[in-house]
Structure 1
Amino acid sequence: MSFLLTRSSNKTPGLPPPTAAATAYRHTADLLRPKWVFYAIVAYIGLAMIVRFFSAASAFLRLRRLRAATPASEDGAVTRNNKVALRRLPAAGVTAFRSVAYRWKVPLGDWHHMNGLTFFTAVAYMVVLFSFSFTNAAHNDPNLWSNRVSHVASLQWTFVIALSGKNNIISLLTGISYEKLNIMHRIAARSVMVVAWAHGFGRIRIRLVGPDSMKEVHHLLGLVSGIAYLFVFFLSLRPVRKWAYDFFLPTHIVLVLLTIISAYYHSFNFKYYMWSAFVMWAFDRFCRTLHVAYNARVWRYLFLQKNNSTKAEAELFDDDAIRLTFHLPAPWRPGHHVYVTIPAVSRWPLEAHPFSIATHPREQQVNDGNGRRVVLVIRPQGGLTKRLADYLQIGVPRELTLLVDGPYGTPPSVLSYSTVILIAGGTGASYTLSYLLDVINNYKSNSCAARRVVYIWAVKARSNLGWYGGALETALNTAPAGLSIEAHIYVTQHDVDEKASEGSDGGHDAKGSTAPFQFTHGRPDVAKILTDEITSAREDISVGVSGPMEMAMLARKTMNNFGFGSVLRGTASVDAHFEMFTNT
C-alpha cells in the first residue's frame, strides 16, 4: 500500500477549479466507494459459502443413498441406451460447472495457466476494483479520484492479508484451501499496487506543494511504502519464487511489513481501514505459533518437566528419498499436510516446507500421550530438502528435532462415491495412500459408500515401495472382502535385478515375496484407465491425482471428454482433486 491520503489541494494545473458540487461528490465517493467494493467481495464470499453448503448436502445424501444400496444390486454389466434422461440434468449441470471452473485451463503465456473459476474471479475482482476507483471522474480530474483510489486500496488490504494466511477466515467459511486462495492473494495484491500507485501519480499531477509537499513526514512514508511495494512485486514474480524461494520468503515478509506500516502512518483519518489487516496477520501468526507449541507438547515441559520437542527418525534411501517418522498430537484427516522446520539444516527459524501425511489417523495411539504416528516421504529437490539429504547417511536412521506446524488443508472426502480412483507419481503416493487407508477403514465401519477402488502408482524402481515400510501391502492384504481394490504399480525405469522379471503379471515386493498388486513396466496410460472406469461405472466417481504436472493435465483432459452431454446420457459424473506443491 502506498500514498494513502485524505486531504488534497483543490486545483489541478491545466483543469478548471472543481465546483462545489464536484467537491461534495468527491468526498461522498471517497467514503462510499471503498465500502461498495468491500461489500461486493463479501457477497462473492457469501456465494461461495452457499455453494459449499449445497455440495456438503449433496455428498451427505449421496452417501446415505449408496450405503442403503446393497452391493448385489450393483453387480452385472453396465448397459446404457444412450438416450437423454432429464432426471440426470442436475448431475450434468454440476459436471459442466466442474469442467469449466476447475478443468478448463486458461493459458497465460508459456509459463503459467489458470483454471476457469480462478480466471473469472480474478477478472471480476479487477473490474470491480478499477471501475469503482476511476469511473465518474470528469475530464480525468485527479481531484475526483486520487484520494478515492487510496481509500479503495487501503480497505483491500484486509483481503490481501487474509488470502495470504494459512489460518484465515475465508478458508473457514468457504472450504477453499489456503494454497488455492494464494493465487487470488497475488492477483489482489498486484491490483491494489496499481491502484495505490495511481493515487501517487494523481497527487503528483495535483502538485505536492504547501502542506502536501514531500517535506512532510507522512508524504515521505507514502513514498517509502510505494517503493517497498514495487520491490514486493518484482521479488514475487514466478522466476524469483521458483529459483530463489529461500531468498524470496524472508524478504517478502520484511518488505510487506514495511509497506503496510509505512502506509498506515501515511494515512490521516482512515487508519481504521487497515486495522483489520493487522488483525488478520497477527491471527495467522498466533495460530501458527500455537500449532508448533501444541505439536511440540510444550505443556509437558511446563507442568511435567519432560522433554517437549518433536523427535523424528530420519532415514535416507539409496534411491534418493527421505522418510521422516514421528508422532503428532494434533488431529488430521486424509489429504492433510504439515509444515516442517528442521533446526539442524534450516537456515532460519521460519524456513518450513509442506509435506503430505501418508499415514491414517486411526492408527493406534501410543501410551505416553505423544500422539499418533506420522510418516512423511520426501524427494530432495533443493534448498532444505537437499541439505537434509546431505546431512543423512544412506541406510542409517538418525534422530532429528522438528518444529511441526499444522496440519493444514481442506481435503475433500471421497467416502460418498461409489468408485474411487487414486493416481500418484513418486512421493505423490503420500497423498493417495492416506485416502486408500481412509476408504478401507471406513468401509470396515460401514461409513463409506465406496465399492471399488483403483490405485495407480508410478515409481522409478520397485525398491521405492520401501518408502512406506510395507503400509500399502498391509492395507491391501487386510482390506475387507466386499471392497474391490485393483492396485497397479508402474515401474518406469529398469533395475538390473528386475530385467529378469520383465513382463511378469505377478506382484512381488522388493524382497521377492508375493504382493497384492500387479507390476507393469512403463508409464501408466492415465487416459485409458480413466476412460475405462468412467464408462463402466454405475454411480459417481471420485478421482484423486498427485504427481507431475503432465499427469494432472492428462487426467483433466480425459475427464473433459465426459461432459454435460455424456452425463445426461447416463455416464457417471466425476469429481476430481489434484494435489501438488510448488514454490511457483
Structure 2
Amino acid sequence: MSSPTRTGGGGTRTGSRAASETDTIISTATSAIASAITSATRNGGHNAASQTSSSAISSATSTSKGGNANNSGDNNAQTVLRNLQRWMLTNYPLFQWWLIGAMGGVLVLLYILSLARGYVRRRKSQSSGAGDNNPDLQDGEIVESGRDGVRSYRNVPAAVSTVWNKVLYRFTIPTSLDRTQRMNLGEAIFCVGYVVSCLMFGFINNEGGPNSFANRTGWLAYAQTPFIVGLAGKNNVISFVTGIGPEKLNVLHRTAGRSVLILSLAHTFAWVDLGLSAKHAIYTPATIWGCVALVSFFTTWLLSFRFIRKLCYEFFLISHISLICFFLAGCILHKKSAAYWIYPSFALWASDRVARLVRLVLLNRLWLSAVPSSSKSYTQATVQAYSDQTVKITMRRKMGWRAGQHCYLVVPGISRLPWEAHPFTLASAPAPRSRRAEGPDRSENELTFLVRARDGFTKRLLEHASHGEGGQDNVLAFVDGPYGMPPDLLEYSTVVLIGGGSGISYTLSQLSHIVQYHPIRASAVKRVCFVWVIRQHAHMLWVDDPLVDLLTVIPSGLDVQIKIFVSNTVSISSTLPVLTGESMEKSDDMKDISASSIKSSLSSTEISGITSPDNRLLRFPQVQVRNGRPDVPALIKEEVDISHGPVSVNVCGPNSLARTVRSTLTRNDITSWGGTLRGRPEVELHVEQFGW
C-alpha cells in the first residue's frame, strides 16, 4: 500500500484527511436523515426533519475541516453508525410488517371485487330471466358467448381476468423431488417475495459486517413469529378478510417458518463469528436460552418434512406444538427486551384453541353429557364400511356450513389420543329450512363424510365399522367446524365438477347446494357437468341415495349431466367396452350401452361380502356410466364451447387429476386473451386438496 502524500509545514496526511472528511460527511448525513425520519414520524414535522438533516450535514462538513477533525470525525462516525444500526434494528421489522400489510390490503381488495362481481352476475341472471342463453346484442353488435365472435372492448375486464388466472393459478412448479407436490405461480411469487423481503431487510446496509446484521436478523425473526402462528390457526382474521382458506395459507405458513429459520441461523453464526465472550458467553443464561430456541425450531423444521407428516401425522402434530412452545419460551428468555414480539404468538395460538373448544362444546352440546339420554343424539355418529378402502360417517348436528367446507372429527374410541382431531370434507350441503321436515329436529342438518381409509386413524375407523353388525356401528364422535373458504358457484353459468374417488365429497356437496338453492336464491347456473372417476362399479353405491334424491328434485331451467368413469373394469369387462384416450369421447358404442345390462352386473357385485342392491342411479337419463378414464381436455372443452356465460371448473382428487385439469386450462383453444375478447366465456378453476 503506498504511503500517504505529505505536504510541508505541519506534515498533515492529505489522503487520510480527505477520506476521513468524506466518511464523516456521509455517516453524519445518514444518521441525520435517519434521526429526521424518526423525529418526523414522532412529531409530524417535515420541516424539522429537513432542518435537522441540513444542519447535521453542515456540522459534519465544518467539523471535518477543523484542526483535530480526524479523531473527532472517527468517533462521530462510530457514534453515527451505532445510531443507524439501532434505528434499523427497531424500524426494519416494522417495515417488513408494513409490506405484509400492503400485500394483505391488495388481497382484501381483490376479495371485495370478487364478491361484488358475484353479486352482479347473480342479479343480472335473475333480472334477465332467461339468463345468457341468447346472443348478446349491444350497440348493434352481436357477440355469441362461447364462440368466436367479434372482438369487443366490453370484454376487456374478462380478458384481463382470464390472463391473470391463467398465468398465476394454472402454471405450477414442483416442490418435491418426485414432482408430485406442486404450487402455482401465484403462490410461488408470493412466497419468494416474502423470503426476499426478509433477507433484504436483514442484510442491506451492512457496512460494518456481521456486527451490522447480527442483532437485526434476530429482531426480524422475533417480529415474524406472530405471522407464523397466525397463519397456522384455523380461526384467523386473514382468511376472513381475504377469502383464502387456512388450508391454502399453509403454504405461506411453511415459507414464513423457513424464512425465520434462515434469519435465526444468520443471527447465530454472526455472533459466533464476532465471538461468544463477556455477556454473550456460551454459559450465560441468555445464550443458553437462545440455543434452546434455535435447536427447538430447527428440530421442528426437520420433523416437518412431508414424508414424516404422511408416515405419522399424530407424532408430527404433537411434536410440532411442543417444540414451538419451547421455541417461543426460549425467545422470551433469550432477549426479554424483544419479548413484546413473542407474546402475540401465544395470544394468537390460545385464541384459536379457545375458539375451537367453544365451538366443540356448543356444536356437540357437551353440557348435556351429565344426562346420557339427552346428550346421546348430539355426540353419536354412525360409521359404515362401504368397501375395503372407504368408510361413511353420518351424524346430525345443529349447525350450518357452506358447500365444500370441511370439519374436524374427534372420535375418542378410535383415536390413540382422546383429543386427536382429523379433517374431512363434508359430502353433504345443508338443506334449505323450507325443505326440512317439521318437528323439534328441524334446525338440525345431517353431516356426511366419505373417508378413504389409509393408515392410522382412518384404518382403525374402517376396521371398527367392519366388525359391527351389517358393516356399521355407532361411535362417540365430536365435530369441530366448519372451516375453509370454498367458492360460491351460483354466480357461474356453467359448473364443471370433477372428482376422483373419495374426492366426490367436495363435488357432491357443491352439486347438492346448486340443486337445492337454485330456485330459492339468485342463481346464474344453467348447466352442471358432474364427473366422477372410480375404480369399481360397486363404488357407485357410495352416493346412490344422495344422487337419486338430487336427481328427483332438479328444478326447471337447470341441466345436470352426471358422467361416471370406471377405471378398473375387471368385474364386468365383458359387459362394457374399455375405452381410453380420445376414443372415450368419439366412440358410438358408449351410447348404445343399455342401463339394464349395467344394472344386472351391479346387482351381482360383491361389496365386503354383502351383495349390493339394484343401483337406482342408472334409471335416470342424466346418468352415463363409461369404462376407462375420462378424456379430461375433451370434457372441459365441450362444456366451455357450449356455455353462454362464465364457467367454473372444480376438481378434487389425486394430484395427477388436478395437474391434468390445470394443464387443460392453459390451452389457448380453451382460455386465451383473444378468445375472451371475442366472447368466449371466462373460465375459473378451483382445486380442492388437502395437504399435511
- TM category, shorter: over 0.9
Aligned partner letter, 2:508? L
Matched, 1:440 2:515: yes
Q: Secondary structure at the match of 1:254?
A: helix
Distance 1:318 1:431 in 2: 19
Once the two structures are superposed, residues 457-485 of structure 1 have per-residue CA deviations (whole angstroms, 9 ceiling, x without a partner) of 11222221222351112201220132111
Select between 282-291 and 406-415 the one with higher mean Cα deviation.
282-291
After TM superposition, the structure 1 = structure 2 runs for residues 273-288 of structure 1, keeping only pairs within 5 Å, are 273-288=341-356
Q: Which residue, out of 52, 71, 92, partners 1:33? A: 92
Report if aligned partners of 1:26, 1:143 keep a CA contact under 8 Å in 2.
Answer: no
Distance 1:506 1:437 in 2: 27
Matched, 1:551 2:657: yes
- Larger Cα-atom Rg: 2
Distance 1:278 1:246 in 2: 22
After TM superposition, the structure 1 = structure 2 runs for residues 369-384 of structure 1, keeping only pairs within 5 Å, are 371-384=444-457
Matched, 1:515 2:619: yes
How much has 1:121 moved relative to structure 2? 0.7
Q: Secondary structure at the match of 1:270?
A: helix
Q: Secondary structure at the match of 2:307?
A: helix
What is the aligned partner in structure 2 of residue 5 from structure 1? none
What is the aligned partner in structure 2 of residue 157 from structure 1? 225
Distance 1:68 1:369 in 2: 32
Report if aligned partners of 1:357, 1:376 keep a CA contact under 8 Å in 2.
Answer: yes
How much has 1:531 moved relative to structure 2? 0.7
Q: Which residue, out of 375, 379, 382, partners 1:310? A: 379
Q: Percent identity?
A: 30
Once the two structures are superposed, residues 383-404 of structure 1 have per-residue CA deviations (whole angstroms, 9 ceiling, x without a partner) of 1111112222273220001121
Report if aligned partners of 2:425, 2:505 keep a CA contact under 8 Å in 1.
Answer: yes
How much has 1:498 moved relative to structure 2? 6.8
How much has 1:543 moved relative to structure 2? 1.1
Alpha carbons of structure 1 residues 136 and 329: separation in structure 2 relative to 1, 3 Å: same
Aligned partner letter, 1:423? I
Select between 395-404 and 448-457 the one with higher mean Cα deviation.
395-404
What is the aligned partner in structure 1 of residue 107 from structure 2? 48
Report if aligned partners of 2:411, 2:476 keep a CA contact under 8 Å in 1.
Answer: yes
How much has 1:405 moved relative to structure 2? 1.5
Q: Which residue, out of 353, 356, 377, partners 2:425? A: 356
Q: Secondary structure at the match of 1:313?
A: strand
Query: Which protein has greater RCO, CA pairs closer than 8 Å, 6+ apart?
Result: 1
TM-score, normalisation: structure 2: 0.78
Give the number of aligned pairs.
567
Distance 1:79 1:221 in 2: 64
Alpha carbons of structure 1 residues 372 and 81: separation in structure 2 relative to 1, 3 Å: closer
Distance 1:78 1:201 in 2: 61
Report if aligned partners of 1:377, 1:468 keep a CA contact under 8 Å in 2.
Answer: no
Q: Which residue, out of 191, 200, 216, partners 1:131? A: 200
Distance 2:183 2:674 in 1: 25
Distance 1:64 1:297 in 2: 39
Matched, 1:271 2:352: no
Distance 2:415 2:504 in 1: 26
Select between 441-450 and 416-425 the one with higher mean Cα deviation.
441-450
Distance 1:412 1:446 in 2: 16
What is the aligned partner in structure 1 of residue 79 from structure 2? 20
Alpha carbons of structure 1 residues 566 and 203: separation in structure 2 relative to 1, 3 Å: same
Report if aligned partners of 2:148, 2:675 keep a CA contact under 8 Å in 1.
Answer: no
Alpha carbons of structure 1 residues 318 and 192: separation in structure 2 relative to 1, 3 Å: closer
Aligned partner letter, 1:440? V
Distance 1:201 1:91 in 2: 51
Report if aligned partners of 2:148, 2:680 keep a CA contact under 8 Å in 1.
Answer: no
Select between 447-456 and 348-357 the one with higher mean Cα deviation.
348-357
Q: Secondary structure at the match of 2:268?
A: helix
How much has 1:512 moved relative to structure 2? 4.9
Select between 423-432 and 61-70 the one with higher mean Cα deviation.
61-70
Once the two structures are superposed, residues 343-367 of structure 1 have per-residue CA deviations (whole angstroms, 9 ceiling, x without a partner) of 1221113432211111121163762
Q: Which residue, out of 465, 478, 493, partners 2:568? A: 493
Matched, 1:405 2:473: no
Report if aligned partners of 2:125, 2:132 keep a CA contact under 8 Å in 1.
Answer: no
Report if aligned partners of 1:296, 1:310 keep a CA contact under 8 Å in 2.
Answer: yes
What is the aligned partner in structure 1 of residue 288 from structure 2? 220
Q: Secondary structure at the match of 1:524?
A: coil
Alpha carbons of structure 1 residues 123 and 215: separation in structure 2 relative to 1, 3 Å: same
How much has 1:255 moved relative to structure 2? 0.8
Report if aligned partners of 2:297, 2:324 keep a CA contact under 8 Å in 1.
Answer: yes
How much has 1:257 moved relative to structure 2? 0.9
What is the aligned partner in structure 2 of residue 64 from structure 1? 123
Q: Tell me, which stretches of 5 or more residues in structure 1 are unaligned?
A: 1-15
What is the aligned partner in structure 1 of residue 6 from structure 2? none
How much has 1:303 moved relative to structure 2? 9.3
After TM superposition, the structure 1 = structure 2 runs for residues 223-372 of structure 1, keeping only pairs within 5 Å, are 223-301=291-369, 306-307=374-375, 310-362=379-431, 364=436, 367-368=440-441, 371-372=444-445
Aligned partner letter, 2:554? A
How much has 1:430 moved relative to structure 2? 1.2
Once the two structures are superposed, residues 173-218 of structure 1 have per-residue CA deviations (whole angstroms, 9 ceiling, x without a partner) of 1110001100100010011111012111122222222222222212
How much has 1:408 moved relative to structure 2? 0.6
Aligned partner letter, 2:569? H
Alpha carbons of structure 1 residues 564 and 79: separation in structure 2 relative to 1, 3 Å: closer
Q: Secondary structure at the match of 2:466?
A: coil
Distance 1:60 1:78 in 2: 20
How much has 1:515 moved relative to structure 2? 2.6
Q: Secondary structure at the match of 2:528?
A: strand
Aligned partner letter, 1:205? D
Q: Which residue, out of 69, 74, 85, partners 2:133? A: 74
TM-score, normalisation: structure 1: 0.92
Select between 86-95 and 313-322 the one with higher mean Cα deviation.
313-322
Q: Secondary structure at the match of 1:539?
A: coil
Distance 2:517 2:594 in 1: 29
Select between 76-85 and 225-234 the one with higher mean Cα deviation.
76-85
Select between 566-575 and 220-229 the one with higher mean Cα deviation.
566-575
How much has 1:41 moved relative to structure 2? 0.6
How much has 1:245 moved relative to structure 2? 2.1
Aligned partner letter, 1:248? F
Q: Which residue, out of 65, 90, 93, partners 2:157? A: 90
Matched, 1:480 2:555: yes
What is the aligned partner in structure 2 of residue 12 from structure 1? none
Q: Tell me, which stretches of 5 or more residues in structure 2 are unaligned?
A: 1-73, 136-143, 578-589, 603-613
Alpha carbons of structure 1 residues 325 and 230: separation in structure 2 relative to 1, 3 Å: same
Distance 2:452 2:482 in 1: 20
Select between 41-50 and 347-356 the one with higher mean Cα deviation.
347-356
Q: Secondary structure at the match of 1:306?
A: helix
What is the aligned partner in structure 1 of residue 536 from structure 2? 461
